[in-house]
Chain A
Amino acid sequence: MKKVIVIGNGMVGYKFCEKLAAHPLRDQFEVVVFGEEFRPAYDRVHLSEYFSLDSADKLLLASREWYDENHIELRTGEMITSIETETKRVFTHKHDYFEYDYLILATGSAPFVPTIKGVDKLGVFVYRTIEDLDAIQEYAEKLKHEGKFKASVLGGGLLGLEAANAAKELGMQTDVIEFAPRLMPRQLDKAASDMLQRKIESLGMKIHLGKNSQEIIGEEGIEKINFTDDTSLQTDMLIISAGIRPRDELAVKCGLKTGERGGVYVNNKMETSDPAIYAIGEVALYNNGIYGLVAPGYEMAGVAVEHITGGEKLMSPSIDMSTQLKLVGTEVASFGDPFIENDEVTAIVYENKQRGVYKRINIAKDGSKLLGGIMVGDSSDYNTLFQLYINAMKLPENPEDLILGSRGGESKSALGSVLDLPDTAQICSCEAVSKGAICGAITSGSCCSFADVVKSTKASSSCGGCKPMVTDLVKETLKSMGQEVKETICEHFEYSRQEMYDLVKLHSIMDFDEALDRHGKGHGCETCKPVLASIFASIYMETANRQAPIQDSNDRFLANIQRNGTYSVVPRVPGGEITPEKLMVLGQVAKKYDLYTKITGGQRIDLFGAQLHELPMIWKELIDAGFESGHAYGKSLRTVKSCVGSTWCRYGLHDSVSFAIRIEERYKGLRSPHKLKGGVSGCIRECAEARGKDFGVIAVEGGWNLFVCGNGGATPKHAILLAEKLDDETCIKYLDRFLVYYIRTAAPLQRTAPWLEKLEGGIDYLKKVVVEDSLGIGEELEAEMEELVQRYACEWKEAIEDPQMMKRFKPFVNSDETDESLVFVPMRDQKMPRPW
């Protein structure tokens, strides 16, 4: 049994354990891991999400039980203070010692703190560990209590911007200070950096470039920073994120070869100058470089495991530093050589300042291959471009199509099919999973879904950037095996609802028969008819009267069928506000037609027990009194529930009733894949239960918070925050976009919550589409909604004014009799149907 000691339980140290634990020769090794932090290894890549998580445990890469189950002794909170190479022993800060056969240095790096006078003042932080984040959060809270809101971040690189976002999330007014003349100088060129800067500044952050910090001033805590150009910046706290330095102190002390600027020298087997000692991750100096990315660290961990188990695998000769991430809400990516400029290279650049998108690709002059590139504002092409680059694949005839998209003709990925990639193509660079491994997992029969593949290959389990490509591979591979999983509407239409929506729109199909002729077969059925009816309604805002026969039965009769075949009638009461006069009309109508009355959950009044032939008479009276259809029978907007709000309530912040009425009036009659409910609350006490609705608006200081995709019912879901502190107009704008986007893309009878669950990228993606308008369709969605709003008509009013439509409500074609078979029984001073 060989003894392996791992110093460092960070992401790479953990990866070493994971790979060794999975190795066939695992049993020949005894593994002890030392971590100086108190937590087991956690995901530092997603550190900035810490503030939005309810528990730090969610960032853990593996629980303590995992180490137990794999017989790895994990000693956290224990620091190694020295290594004795002759006797192969390490000493802990408790003066204990442990012997090793193989020692793995995975000590990582520490934040680089420049020597600035006053850097030790209170309120100056680094950004690396969960403890750092806790300290930052605590200090920020304290500042906010004192009415201080100013934070600054020293460092405009990748980590600096992450830190800046974290500070912003804490509610601090955040500035970024960068020494270089541009942001992310290692990944972006000037134009890309400018674009990123504009994006970040539009979110209220200030960027100070070309600033060399000279001194930190402050009585006790930091108050301002002086720069060498005699300018200064007032700030209440400072987070330093100006680069990393390898934690090589143990190596230096025991005489291992280290680099001039730090880092433990390793060869392509990850061996240090002492063959019993390996170094991996950010502490390792490989090819004269330190690599602050997860992917090369993981590869190093794999190589080290290979060598101590007798394998031969060598580290790649060149390290790919391509990266794709989201910084302060902006997509940023860079791959290959992003800057290369010489006679052999042509750079193609696309810049759209309106949308805040910048793309650059560097291609060989002869057009043969892609050498590198940069993307800001939209990195959706990253995976394709990266594969073209890393596999040195042939480029399309017009390489500009790669970033502009094919203009004209069918749009098609530059890659063709993902299956065209070579088997060796690395799809997930974090976990080093090739296309062959992903497809093989499916063709071997061991996996049959995206989730299976992630579990079995680990692809997409780290940063998740390759998720779209893995999804495509899974789909395409299944398809090639004849296992296409297609969600078609029914046997009559071999299309999904979204596809049918697009077809109807594209070909201006006007009715069900035409749809059936062009894209379907048979007569249709009770599944596809209402789906098409809903699509026609959403596109043309036609009421349920225009194509009555394809409406679901309730829509056809504009009422809700109840147990005994009678109907209930629900007039619209926008926002639940009703005058005594109208309330009396409802009472009189109910009394006249002997209807059972009940208050609904949506703040309206339901009148039950109306016979088919009575519906038009009842509605005539209601309409004369100023009522409209409440669409309670439709897959459409039902109600926007409200609390009484600031007009009466002593706690209310804004006038929730007026806003609820405005929203309900705007979206009334809107047909959708399923019913839609809304709510508006006048303060965070949330009396309107708006978060239990498809969209909920809650008043806060400074505006409305907009929540989406909640529901009550069988699987209750709280709506999720989409945007904060909106004024009325912006809130309506986002609602317009959200609703039309949902209507366009949801499956039949899929409510907003399950729709969001299925939406690739989830709420973050939805925010991008709705708030940031990442697809550039914001105005289109708004215009579509505006048109639907303009075309609204009360369908009951239409029906009672048209004798032809009225025929629908005649019980018998060949008789004026009414249905005398109905039986009611009394209940609590009212009536109910005879029980079944």
Chain B
Amino acid sequence: MEELLKNYQSVAEEHAIHWIKVGQTDDFPANAGACVKYNSKQIAVYYFTRTNSWYACQNLCPHKMEMVLSRGMTGDSQGIPKVACPLHKKTFSLEDGSNLNGEEYSIATYPVRIQEGNVYIGFAD
């Protein structure tokens, strides 16, 4: 299980080496999540229409280690964009991956860029 988690480390935009095209903006639902695959990683991608913002994070919920976060509901808590896991409604910040329920585990987030209608996610490996 720990191995699985190690596969996901947050990447700051300035540290991204590979920008991977994961689809066109139309392929992603508005104000909800969808999942993309990059090598062995499952990455959840979210598009918030009200602020025209894109977010990406691991699809793995660290609570019970299931690949489900892309199917969670999105929203905000005091202005912080977040996702709620569909299994137990654990919520995580999509800005920094922190746990918004005050528990220890958090998630890895990845930078997203939109260019000419294409969606790119930045990875450091």
Contacts and interface: CB of A to CB of B under 8 A. Distances in A.
User: Is B one of A's binding partners?
Assistant: yes
B75 A529 contact: yes
Interface string B18-59: 000111000111111011110000100100111100000000
B37 A812 contact: yes
Contacts of A807: 27, 29
A526 B29 contact: no
B16 interface: no
Interface residues of B, number: 40
A565 B87 contact: yes
Nearest to B87: A561
Contacts of A282: none
B12 to A, nearest CB: 23
Interface string A511-544: 0010010000011111011100000000000000
A522 B76 contact: yes
A553 B27 contact: no
A565 B66 contact: yes
B71 A553 contact: yes
A564 B29 contact: no
Interface string B70-89: 01111111110110101101
Contacts of A815: 36-37
B73 A819 contact: no
B34 to A, nearest CB: 5
A836 B37 CA distance: 24
A836 B64 contact: yes
A331 B120 CA distance: 69
A814 B37 contact: yes
A557 B81 contact: no
B62 to A, nearest CB: 12
B67 A821 contact: yes
Interface string A485-502: 000000110000000000
Contacts of A524: 75-76
Contacts of B21: 814
Given A523-B48, A525-B82, A556 B71 contact: yes
Interface in A163-213: none
A525 B84 contact: yes
A525 B32 contact: no
A146 interface: no
B29 A549 contact: yes
A134 B77 CA distance: 62
A525 B89 CA distance: 11
A821 B31 CA distance: 26
Given A548-B29, A814-B22, A525 B73 contact: yes
A260 interface: no
Contact of A523 (B31, B42, B64, B89): B31
A817 interface: yes
B91 interface: yes
A813 interface: yes
Interface string A805-816: 001100111110
A689 interface: no
A554 interface: yes
Given A525-B76, A813-B45, A549 B86 contact: no
Given A491-B78, A813-B27, A556 B32 contact: yes
B66 A819 contact: no
Contacts of A556: 32, 71
Contacts of B30: 549
A664 interface: no
Interface string A606-628: 00000010000000000000000
A530 B86 CA distance: 13
A561 B61 CA distance: 14
Given A525-B82, A561-B71, A565-B87, A549 B66 contact: no
A811 B67 CA distance: 11
Interface in A544-559: 548-550, 552-554, 556-557
Nearest to B82: A525
Nearest to B71: A553
B28 to A, nearest CB: 7
Contact of B74 (A491, A516, A523, A564): A523
A563 B45 CA distance: 22
A324 B84 CA distance: 52
Nearest to A815: B37
Contact of A526 (B36, B45, B64, B84): B84
B37 A525 contact: no
A811 B86 CA distance: 15
A783 B21 CA distance: 52
Interface residues of A, number: 36
Interface in A814-828: 814-815, 817, 819, 821
A48 B76 CA distance: 55
A822 to B, nearest CB: 8
Contacts of A808: 29
B31 A526 contact: no
A554 B85 CA distance: 11
A814 B23 contact: yes
B71 A813 contact: no
Nearest to A522: B76
Contacts of A491: 77-78
Most chain B beta-carbon contacts within 10 A, residue among A525, A612, A812, A813:
A813
Interface in B67-125: 67-68, 71-79, 81-82, 84, 86-87, 89, 91
Contacts of A492: 75-76
Nearest to B23: A813
Contacts of B72: 526, 553
Contact of B71 (A523, A528, A550, A557): A557
B22 to A, nearest CB: 5
Q: Which of B51, B64, B76, B91 has the most CB of A within 10 A?
A: B76
B86 A553 contact: yes
B67 A819 contact: yes
B76 A565 contact: no
B99 to A, nearest CB: 15
Nearest to B63: A836
Contacts of A554: 86
Contacts of A513: 49-50
A524 B31 CA distance: 10
A556 B73 CA distance: 9
A137 to B, nearest CB: 54
Contacts of B86: 553-554, 561
B66 A564 contact: yes
Contacts of B29: 548-549, 807-808
A374 B32 CA distance: 59
Contact of B35 (A525, A561, A812): A812
A525 B71 contact: no
Contacts of A812: 35-37, 42
A404 B34 CA distance: 56
A516 B42 CA distance: 32
A813 B22 contact: yes
Contacts of B87: 561, 563, 565
Given A553-B72, A813-B36, A817-B37, A525 B77 contact: yes
A715 to B, nearest CB: 21
A527 to B, nearest CB: 8
* Nearest 7 Cβ contacts at the A-B interface: A525-B75, A553-B86, A549-B32, A526-B84, A526-B73, A523-B76, A565-B68
Interface of B: 21-23, 27-32, 34-37, 42, 45, 48-51, 64-68, 71-79, 81-82, 84, 86-87, 89, 91
Given A553-B71, A554-B86, 13 more contacts: A491-B78, A523-B48, A523-B74, A525-B82, A553-B72, A553-B73, A556-B32, A556-B71, A561-B87, A563-B66, A563-B87, A813-B23, A821-B42
6 contacts: A549-B74, A563-B66, A563-B87, A565-B66, A808-B29, A814-B37
